Amino acid sequence: MLDAADTSSTRPYLIRAIYEWCTDNGLTPFIAVLVNDTVRVPNEYVKDGEIVLNISFDATSSLNMGNEYIEFKGRFGGVARDIFVPVDRVVAIYARENGQGMAFPMLASSSDAKEVVTSADSNPVGLTRVPEASPTNEPPVSPRPPAGGKPSLTRVK
């Protein structure tokens, strides 16, 4: 009998599911990433140790969302860059247009395990609205106000 320690993480599967949901509904999928030395992104676009990336079909080429990493080519300031993000560094995936998506806790194996993203109802993984995420490879878009009483993301340090 398998226990939780013997199974793979659900995070990459949930990221792919939310990505597919976004694209099926004509929405733009964004990922929020905690940057460390294992993440390969343009450092000039990293703010407070985080970066938000547009991973839509229109914004990427050669997108590969595997179980261990997300990799693609994206344009930043008109320059094509190779992007490499370990899946355990993704703290949220959501739709730009309505903020719906999923937030993830940092994994215990991560060097930043003390940082956890939780929703207001203390559920570490749930559909939430990501506030004021400013994508780096897309013009800023004003977030819509939450529709009555939905939880918002807060960072616990």
pLDDT digits 0-9 by tens, 110-154: 444 334 433 333 333 444 444 444 455 554 444 444 455 555 555
pLDDT-derived band at 72 (thresholds 50, 70, 90) equals: very high
Q: Which residue has the higher pLDDT, 144 or 80?
A: 80
Give the start-to-end residue ranges of the domains of the chain: 8-137+150-156
Is pLDDT of 2 > 90? no
CATH class held by domain 8-137+150-156: mainly beta
CB 38 within 8 A of CB 18: no
52-77 mean pLDDT:
96
pLDDT digits 0-9 by tens, 12-60: 999 999 999 999 999 999 999 999 999 999 999 999 999 999 999 999 9
Q: Which residue has the higher pLDDT, 109 or 83?
A: 83
What is the per-residue pLDDT for 47? 95
